[in-house]
Structure 1
């Protein structure tokens, strides 16, 4: 049973045998040095087998887990453990969106990766969200930052374009072999954030959605079944949190894995440049829900407390998906 929580600022030593004695074996016999050596060797061999089995058992529990165990330092770093390559997707060779850039882990040693497509906002191009490409890809995702058909496209159109880009990525792109098409998510800034809500509404099978300072005329989203992290900004005058991000969050089903992160001392355009707080919680959310990697639950639950960069954080803990 999930519990709704709300954080707000206005809210063994070894035992020793007597010297010269040895523990008795069954039947009251005292072990010889040779017997002790054989017993210790057997114990060591058994322990070694246990250690060898553990990683395999863990991998069997979650075959989608990628990368080393995370720390606060690793998820706040400008780059994660994977080297990243990129490829340009020309507007001329796609339909339904305006092309873009795919960032992906260079190595194929770990198999396939989950993927996320990111839309810019009103009047914006992919350059405004480009920093997220290598930042997220280096943590173990294929990331597609896109251009829209026109810079004036509304959220419903941006939602359809996010889905068209996902389809291109998984079905026709040159990196489709690196993508697990069952593990997909969407992100977007401003009207692109509103578009990510539209995309999740249209395609319930998506694993994660992260609207960044989102804008949309539709305020309630009871249809969504995709785990959603909404990021607002306390100083947003374009899409004020009181009329956009907050009602979007409260309009999601209360049973859904959902969270609301309000950035402190931030503006509507904070997602347009490198931002450690956005990156940290985006990585954690995508890992937790696209990769089902519970190693990242520690950064989401207990709920993060208000800080120099966090004005407020609400959410459901623990997560159930």
Structure 2
């Protein structure tokens, strides 16, 4: 077992600091990845702050990982030294339940093993991508195609698949009217992917401040939800709405924007429950749903799709010493649209 340089939160709500964490030896089917870039996800902040329950510390966040294979175990067949690869939100699962067998490991009935703040099969804690290296079973590693930079690819491992999965599942494409609620780290990828799938895309944002960005990213329409008239004007307009906001919104109002048989899918995770009036669903045979990332097979499909369409995240690359400031800026909505850590700078 070797120690690697990393940024970790020593305890809940504490600033992240430079440290070292152990990595297991490369096993029979393991891949050692030299991490080049790690995206910062809003869920990293939630977990450091224990917003979603008791966490394990020290915590090395990061589940948007892109890098290069530097060593493989003797039984590895999928990857070779020098390959461009990524790691997303989980690094293992039971591999036996109906969901794992169906390629839906994110819904593993035994519980997927998180890339960080999880417990590995060896009983030890998992540490994420704010580090120089990571060891992962080859079955949970993704190939990053040529044609997309590792820096702009890193956020696809969470933000990209979080939007791709529901858009594909609910058949976004030609003839479908899709609305993306929120134009942030998740939402901006939703706009890009929905547009590439051929859907008519609308952004629903609190104000018109990001309208130019939304249209440039591929939206056909942009509306301010801070204007109450918007909800009357757009009533019954959408077949699919994907809500990326991690704060509570008036779900009943947004359900009113759906056409008959429309679906409102939530991918954001507010800390508090959201009330829903049953009549908002009954009138129009509407559905309220949720979606969480994707399995390994679908994540690889997403990466291939994004590379084929020239889609990467809109990023601001930062050094390791800027991580805590980036956290503050994310909470102030001061990023367009994803921070990515240049891991070569962890010591700076």
Q: Is the TM-score greater than 0.5?
A: no
Q: Which has the higher strand share?
A: 2
Structure 1 or 2, whichever has the larger Rg, is 1
TM-score of the aligned structures, taking structure 2 as reference length: 0.25
